[in-house]
Amino acid sequence: MPLYPASVNIDFNATELNAAIASITNALATLQTTVEDNEGSITSIATELANQNTRLGNIEIAESSLWSNFNGLVSNVNSLTQTVDSQDSIISYVNNENANQRVQIQDLQTQIVALQKVLPQGFQHFHDTSKVLVGNALSPVQVAASFYSTMWQQNPAALNDSFSFTALLSPGTYTLVMLVTRANNKGKLKLSINGVQAFDDLDGYNSTTIYERITRTITITTSGLQEFVFTVWGKNSLSSGYAFLVNKISAYKM
């Protein structure tokens, strides 16, 4: 029995068949290459997606850190705001205190002005009540022809003898009056008031004994108790000693 029916005419061409098979084979090879390329692309895309996911994770971490920093900044701003509010409160308190103190200062200044009007405008001081600072004690000398008959000096006298007294005065310019004995054994005297030198030119030397009313101009700069310090700082080259014989020291406002 024949393989094919008698009515079927099979025109078999081996060359064309081989060519078709080769074409199909090439197409399959090309398709295989394309599939492999696609698989490589898929792998590359998968790798890139993994990298993108990693980067996205890093961004999320960075974003979380940024939010944390932002929250910290907000907290710092709030804390700073509270500090500023507290400082404003302190400044307000200080300003109020300063205003109160200015009022108190004005009141004190008013009181000082009023007090200056009633403070003494001068003084009288007898030398026997002076306080000796340096040297020997004060001794009386009876001189009938002198002022008030009795005068006082440190005895025996020496260089740097010093005495002081205080007087309550208001500020201003005063005439200082000293009732003294000048002679050939007297020293040179200087005066400081509240630690500031007022003069140093009082020379007690004279070739003969005389009784004088010596004056100097002094300035009082502040109200209140003033300290007068007299010091024997030297002597005339013709003098034989350093004595300073005085009866009374007084002052009156000019």
Are 113 and 141 contained in the same domain? Answer: no
Single-letter code of the amino acid located at 113: V
- Residue for token digits 């740097």? 160
Are 242 and 201 contained in the same domain? Answer: yes
Are 126 and 114 contained in the same domain? Answer: no
- Using CA of residue 169, residue 175, residue 178, residue 179, what is the dihedral sign? negative
**36-41-44 Cα angle (round to 5):** 125
Count H helices and E strands in the chain, helices first.
1, 11
DSSP string, 174-227: EEEEEEEEEBTTBEEEEEEETTEEEEEEEE-B-SS-EEEEEEEEEEE-SSEEEE
Are 114 and 138 contained in the same domain? Answer: no
Whether the CB-CB separation of 238 and 203 falls below 8 Å is answered with no
Of 9-13, 76-80, 132-136, 149-153, highest mean pLDDT:
132-136
Are 94 and 67 contained in the same domain? Answer: yes
Are 193 and 92 contained in the same domain? Answer: no
Whether the CB-CB separation of 127 and 151 falls below 8 Å is answered with yes
Are 80 and 152 contained in the same domain? Answer: no
Are 86 and 146 contained in the same domain? Answer: no
Are 108 and 3 contained in the same domain? Answer: yes
Are 176 and 137 contained in the same domain? Answer: yes
Range of the domain at 8: 1-118
- What is residue 33's predicted lDDT score, i.e. its pLDDT? 81
The model's confidence at residue 199, banded by pLDDT at 50, 70 and 90, is very high
Q: Name the domain boundary from 118, 148, 172.
A: 118
Are 99 and 188 contained in the same domain? Answer: no
> How does pLDDT run across 2-37, given as a tens digit for each residue?
554 555 555 557 787 788 788 888 888 887 787 777
- What is residue 4's predicted lDDT score, i.e. its pLDDT? 47
Question: Which CATH number do you get for residue 167?
Answer: 2.60.120.260
- Using CA of residue 19, residue 20, residue 26, residue 30, what is the dihedral sign? positive
Q: Rounded mean pLDDT of the chain? A: 86
3-class DSSP string for 63-90:
HHHHHHHHHHHHHHHHHHHHHHHHHHHH
Are 8 and 128 contained in the same domain? Answer: no
Q: Name the domain boundary from 118, 136, 171.
A: 118
Q: Name the domain boundary from 62, 95, 118.
A: 118
Better pLDDT: 140 or 58: 140
Q: In the chain, how many domains are there?
A: 2
Is 0.85 topped by the overall pTM? no
